[in-house]
Amino acid sequence: MRLYISADMEGVTGLVDADDVQPGGRDYERGRLMMAEDVNAAVRGAIAAGATDITVNDAHGPMRNLMPESLHPAARLIRGKPKQMLMLEGLTPEHDAVVCVGYHSRAGALGVLSHSFMGHEIEDMWLDGRPVGEIGLAHATAAAIGVPVTVLTGDDCACAEMTEWDASVRTVAVKYARDRFAADLRPAEEARAAIEKTVAAALSTPRKASAVGGASTLTVRWQSASVASTLLGIPGVASTDSRTVQAQGALPSLYRLFGVWMRVAASLTNQPPYC
Q: 115-126, pLDDT tens digit by residue?
A: 999 988 999 999
Mean pLDDT of the chain: 95
Percent of the chain's residues with pLDDT above 70: 97
Q: How confident is the model at residue 214 (pLDDT cuts 50, 70, 90)?
A: confident
Answer whether residue 211 shows pLDDT above 90.
no
Half-sphere exposure of 269 (CA within 13 A, CB side): 22
Positions marked active-site: 115
- Average pLDDT (131-137) is 98
The predicted structure's pLDDT at residue 119? 86
Q: Please, which pLDDT band fits residue 21 given cuts at 50, 70 and 90?
A: very high
**Above 60 in pLDDT, residue 275?**
no
- Which ranges in the chain belong to alpha helices (H)? 18-21, 28-48, 134-145, 156-165, 188-203, 225-231, 253-268
Residue 133 has pLDDT above 70, yes or no: yes
- Each as own residue / partner, the long-range contacts of residues 128-132 (CB below 8 Å, 24 or more positions apart, any chain) are 128/216, 128/217, 129/217, 129/219, 131/106, 132/106
Collapsing DSSP to helix, strand or coil, 25 comes out as: coil
pLDDT in tens, 61-111: 999 999 999 999 999 999 999 999 999 999 999 999 999 999 999 999 999
How sure is the predictor about 269, in pLDDT bands with cuts at 50, 70 and 90? confident
Convert the pLDDT of each residue in 163-191 to its tens digit: 999 999 999 999 999 999 999 999 999 99
Backbone angles phi, psi at 89, to 5 degrees: -55, 130
Segment 190-219 shows an average pLDDT of 90
Q: What is the pLDDT of residue 270?
A: 74
- At residue 271, the pLDDT reads 64
pTM of the full predicted structure? Answer: 0.96
Q: Is the pLDDT at 32 greater than 90, yes or no?
A: yes
